[in-house]
Amino acid sequence: MPAVATEAPSIVEYRAWFQCIAGCPVHYSLQDIIYRCPRCGNLLEVRHDLERLRQHPPAYWKNLFDTRFLRNQWPYGSSVWGKKEMVCPEVDNANVVSTFEGGTNLFWAERLGKEIGVPELWIKQCGNSHTGSFKDLGMTVLVSMVRQMIAGGKEIPAVACASTGDTSAALAAYCAVADIPAIVFLPRDKVSVAQLIQPIAHGALTLSLDTDFDGCMALVQEICARNNIYLANSMNSLRIEGQKTVSIELVQQFDWEVPDWVIIPGGNLGNVSALGGGFLLMRDLGIISTLPRIACAQAQRANPLYQSYLNGFREFHPMQAQPTLASAIQIGNPVSVEKAIRTLQMFDGVVEQASEDELANAAARGDRTGLFNCPHTGVALAVLFKLVERGEIRSHERVVVISTANGLKFPEFKIKYHESRLADVVPQHGNFPVNLPADYTQVRDAIRRVLEQRRSGRLTAPPSPSRRGRESVP
């Protein structure tokens, strides 16, 4: 074991740059405003000087990351910046815009795991974060780099993104912290109320547009390209560098053991390559020696990657995504599809889908065991249940489900579920409030009735309209 490293090593030595994912040889500075390869049009990715990183043995990195993890030394207490040498080494600490990212609970889902026969079931609660979703992990990197560029004299009048809700909340919050103008492009009536109010409250210019996410995505690219505005979507691979720390953190929370499976919901698909990127980097540096299998979970109504998976990824066809409760992944033309397919091929990956009924019931089933997650996590849980049922995931395997956002962003989804008001969903785990006067006897009787029902096991059944009518006094 090396000595305990409490101080950051001299990180100016570490280098990273943009390079084309197809391998075109040119390097671009992370301070260049560039998202695609000028030669071939492919997306860029951030590459690191692996030789430099390999100068330290794996034990050095594990120890360094553990020493910094959630501690008080700015900015290394953030689980993203605690891995700074592998994320974005050139940002000055003074320019870091951070809300103490990562370190979210890796929740042992003991009850749910027992129910499905997979005792080692863990839910990575990425939604317990500053803006309520995993997007904080990447946005801290992007906005910090923007602050660095502005500090260096670069003219950046604003930062913009298209969003299905979570990205815009994160961009707006981080820009509010740093006092940088933010512009968010949202598809009108396709994000939740909570997701709409986040950028508004943070003072962002919030454009509510008569189109879907794919329309917003096309427009924001044109606006940014022609108006010198900086693009914050995940095609800007600075975001991916922050998001990839979720893999490192997962392994860190398992005392540097690799799980067997990671299940992640997929829409625009930047997160799939980010997840894979973290694992590959750790393997390249000898921090881990195996890779998990990755399952990408799509909503049946926005499943272009699933369709491609069915044909062995030989073809990919963008589609018109249909309205789905999993609104954040209602995306038919995912920007990061090529990176995602490449990742899935390296991780013995699986793509599976969930219907509206499946995702809503899976989310509610999770809630009954103490979770409180977004509908997209519902998609991932539904896919988990399917993979277990068909024996692809086996009972001795250690499984992690990435919960991408907090259920508090989606109260309408949950209320409508329990009120049986979701189209195409038959609630299997419904519950409802009992309205009563503040009267001792009536309250006591209601409690006795329900405890009796619970004892006899009847409470796990969905409420019948008649029982609901009897106990409700509207």
Considering only residues 144 through 183, tell me which ones interact with a copy of itself, judged by CB under 8 A.
Answer: 157-158, 160, 173-174, 176-179, 181, 183
* Interaction of residue 289 with a copy of itself, rule CB under 8 A: no
> Are the CB atoms for 435 and 472 separated by under 8 Å?
yes
Q: Applying CB under 8 A, does 204 fall inside the site for a copy of itself? A: yes
Of these, 89, 113, 132, 165, which contacts a copy of itself (CB under 8 A)? 132
Per CB under 8 A, which region of 200-208, 267-275, 323-331, 380-388 contacts a copy of itself? 200-208
Unique residue bearing structure tokens 């692996």:
50
**Residue (21 or 232) nearer to a copy of itself, CB:** 232
By beta-carbon proximity to a copy of itself, the closer residue of 293 and 409 is 409
**Dihedral angle sign, alpha carbons of residues 30, 33, 36, 37:** negative
Write out the H or E segment, with its range, that includes residue 400.
strand 399-403
Closest to 198 measured CA to CA, from 371, 376, 410, 414: 410
- Integer CA distances (angstroms), 252 to 61, 66, 109, 248, in order: 11, 8, 18, 6
Which residues within the stretch 209-228 sit at the binding site for a copy of itself (CB under 8 A)?
209-211, 215-216, 219, 222-223, 226-227
Binds a copy of itself (CB under 8 A): choice among 38, 318, 370, 469: 370
The residues, any chain, with a CB within 8 Å of residue 191's CB and separated by 6 or more, are 163, 164, 165, 168, 327
Beta partners for 186? 208
Comparing CB distances to a copy of itself, the nearer of 283 and 368 is: 368
Minimum gap (Å) between residue 196 Cβ and a copy of itself: 7
Binds a copy of itself (CB under 8 A): choice among 21, 53, 126, 129: 129
Q: Does 368 bind a copy of itself (CB under 8 A)?
A: yes
Contact 112, 366 (CB under 8 A): yes
How far apart CA 281 and CA 327 sit, in angstroms, is: 31
Q: Residues 130, 101: contact at Cβ < 8 Å?
A: yes
Rounded CA separation 249/124 (Å): 10
Using the contact rule CB under 8 A, the part of the chain among 6-14, 329-337, 381-389, 439-447 near a copy of itself is: 439-447
Interface residue with a copy of itself among 352, 406, 422, 425 (CB under 8 A) is 406
The residues in 82-101 that bind a copy of itself, with binding defined as CB under 8 A, are: 99-100
CB under 8 A: which stretch of 47-55, 291-299, 349-357, 434-442 binds a copy of itself?
434-442
At its nearest, how many Å lie between a copy of itself and the CB of residue 213? 11
Q: Which is nearest to 45 in space by CA: 70, 16, 67?
A: 16
SS3 403: strand
130 binds a copy of itself (CB under 8 A): yes
Could you say whether residue 428 binds a copy of itself (CB under 8 A)? no
Interface residue with a copy of itself among 96, 229, 295, 326 (CB under 8 A) is 229
Phi-psi region of 371 (alpha: psi -120 to 50; beta: other; left: phi over 0): beta
Q: Is 190 in the site for a copy of itself (CB under 8 A)?
A: no
Under rule CB under 8 A, residue 437 binds a copy of itself: yes
The least CB distance from residue 404 to a copy of itself, in Å, is 15
Among 253, 343, 361, 404, binds a copy of itself (CB under 8 A): 253
Of the pair 16, 248, the CB lying nearest a copy of itself is at 248
User: What pairing do the DSSP bridges indicate for beta strands 159-162 and 230-231?
Assistant: parallel
Q: Which stretch binds a copy of itself (CB under 8 A): 15-23, 192-200, 262-270, 305-313?
A: 192-200
Q: CB of 94: closest distance to a copy of itself in angstroms? A: 11
Minimum gap (Å) between residue 269 Cβ and a copy of itself: 22
Asked if 173 and 99 count as a contact pair (C-beta separation under 8 A), the reply is: yes
Whole-angstrom Cα distance, residue 310 to residue 438? Answer: 57
Task: Please name which of 92, 96, 93, 90 lies closest in space to residue 28, comparing C-alpha atoms.
Answer: 90
**Chosen residue from 13, 110, 284, 348 binding a copy of itself by CB under 8 A:** 110
CB of 245 to a copy of itself, least distance (A): 15
Instruction: Identify the DSSP state of 314.
Output: S
CB of 367 to a copy of itself, least distance (A): 4
Residue 335, both tokens = 């920007």
Who contacts 174 (Cβ-Cβ below 8 Å, separation ≥6)?
Answer: 97, 99, 136, 139, 140, 142, 143
